[in-house]
Copies of this chain bind each other. A is one copy, B any other.
């Protein structure tokens, strides 16, 4: 039986790209269902009745939700080009840092994007502080996964695209090459990878999209 593999996502969601990247790395064929979150499809609501969110991966009719859970599922189901490290300790570290990124880096960056003034500055300061831990992880490595892109690179992948977009929108620097030489190099290496590069939407479209999230009263910053 041919595998049925569907990805429900939006065209711009950084969490959706985690799944796209993983499937591309594994060399899997899949169908994309682009959702409009202001008018969610019946299928999305059926497949993710709890959170009603993208991304959802549907494999032979069975849905899997939550992007980090989906990444592990993909890696366990298709063994080629492993994403997670093999040793349990390295796996634990990858899981720990992926959760750290979602809990401690994404929220302050999101908060900075959605605010201005003191709240925005605090979001940036918190994000920069937590990014310093990430910088340390890259010592002696090209990717978080070592020589090749792995699970943690995909979990952090949104940073490579979104941080510079946020910097442009709020006119503040988060990741400069002097303070974050390794993270800056990783952002370039990750974005330049042929598999990753082909997936990103055009930068100007993404800037417009994320500017739109700020709401009219916040749009003009600089």
Contact = CB atoms under 8 A, between A and B. Distances in A.
Interface of A: 50, 59, 62, 64-66, 69-70, 72-73, 76-77, 88-89, 91-92, 95-96, 99-100, 133
B50 A76 contact: no
A50 B91 contact: no
Q: Which of A62, A65, A69, A76 has the most CB of B within 10 A?
A: A69
Contact of A95 (B50, B72, B92): B72
Chain A binding surface, main DSSP class: helix
A76 B96 contact: no
A160 to B, nearest CB: 22
A66 B96 CA distance: 7
A137 B60 CA distance: 21
Contact of A66 (B50, B88, B99): B99
Nearest to A65: B96
A88 B73 contact: yes
A19 to B, nearest CB: 13
Given A62-B89, A65-B96, A72-B88, 20 more contacts: A50-B100, A50-B133, A64-B89, A64-B92, A64-B96, A66-B95, A66-B96, A69-B92, A69-B95, A69-B96, A69-B99, A72-B91, A72-B92, A72-B95, A73-B88, A73-B89, A73-B91, A73-B92, A76-B88, A76-B91
